[in-house]
Homo-oligomer: A and B are copies of this chain.
Amino acid sequence: MTTQIDINSASKAKIDALRSVIDARLRVMAAGSEFAPRLNAAIAHSLLAPGKRFRPILCVLIAREFSANTDAALDAGCAAEMVHTASLILDDLPCMDDAKLRRGLPTTHLEFDESTAILAAVALLNRAYGIIAKITDLDASSKVDLTELMSRAVGSYGLIAGQIADLDNDDMDTDESHVEQVNALKTGALFDYTILAAAKISKLTAAQTEHAAEFSRQIGLAFQLLDDLKDRILSEAQAGKTIDRDIGKATLVALGGEAAAKQKLSNYMKAADDALIAMGVNEASPLRNAIAYQFKLPSHA
């Protein structure tokens, strides 16, 4: 039996402080060459828009938990944030979800134009690899491992496969296990990179890394389900992005209803927490606070 997680103002302040560090690092990473001012502006618009920065927070807090190099984890986590941002730009394109609002701002193709948005997304993915290659105080062999983890998370076993499957997803006759599989690709894969990169930087044992992979699986499923629930529950202003894009899509919320989805979310969260404890994370860890904070649904929901 694990202890109850209490998100008080002190733990919230710590998460906010870490988010500021992440935002500062992302500002440095957003800068590009003098040859491409419009590209730089589009990258800054998308990457520096207010975000929860959950992936870098996870990466840094795991490394901190195991007294590993948090600077390396910060950069590895920021690489995930860049790839996440790239995926949002692409998802929002007219030929995909055709969304107008993201992170409370006009989507990148509306603020600039379609070609600039596409090139900014490609540049963000590309720069993420450059950042991994340049992480200080990380041996070359680990950098190669992180590169491989990222390539798998993005490619035909990950994000891109998930995005293609999601675009095709208008069949309400599908079942929950298929939806879970798509969610694992679309959202879970980048958590896999993030958490396994943190495990690598933290030099976790093989057994701990297996628990880390299970933690990632559960937190990824929880995260996508939370997103689907918010899409159903929140107003556009509250979500800060175009919502109702899921109408007609087979999400777990659409398939089983809101109450069942909330129960399922709670099950994922419990399984994730169990895996975290099995990894060797302290019961009083800020990592558990950060997760509880991230997954708190708005009170009226």
Contact = CB atoms under 8 A, between A and B. Distances in A.
A144 interface: yes
- How many copies of the shown chain assemble into the complex? 2
Interface in A83-100: 86, 90, 93, 95-96
Contacts of A39: 156, 160-161, 164
A155 interface: yes
B126 A155 contact: yes
A119 B160 contact: yes
Contact of A167 (B115, B134, B157): B115
A119 B161 CA distance: 9
Nearest to A185: B35
A168 B40 CA distance: 15
Residue from A118, A126, A181 whose CB has the most chain B CB atoms within 10 Å:
A126
Contact of A156 (B33, B132, B151, B156): B33
A74 to B, nearest CB: 19
A125 B160 CA distance: 12
Nearest to A87: B122
A130 interface: yes
Contact of A160 (B126, B129, B152): B126
A121 interface: yes
Contacts of A144: 133, 140, 143-144
B130 A115 contact: no
A165 B36 contact: yes
Interface string A161-190: 111110110000000000001000100000
A40 B154 CA distance: 14
22 contacts: A32-B155, A35-B156, A35-B157, A38-B168, A39-B156, A39-B160, A39-B164, A93-B115, A95-B115, A96-B115, A115-B164, A121-B122, A122-B154, A122-B160, A126-B154, A127-B151, A129-B150, A133-B147, A133-B151, A143-B144, A143-B147, A147-B147
The 4 closest A-B pairs by CB, nearest first: A130-B151, A32-B156, A36-B161, A140-B140
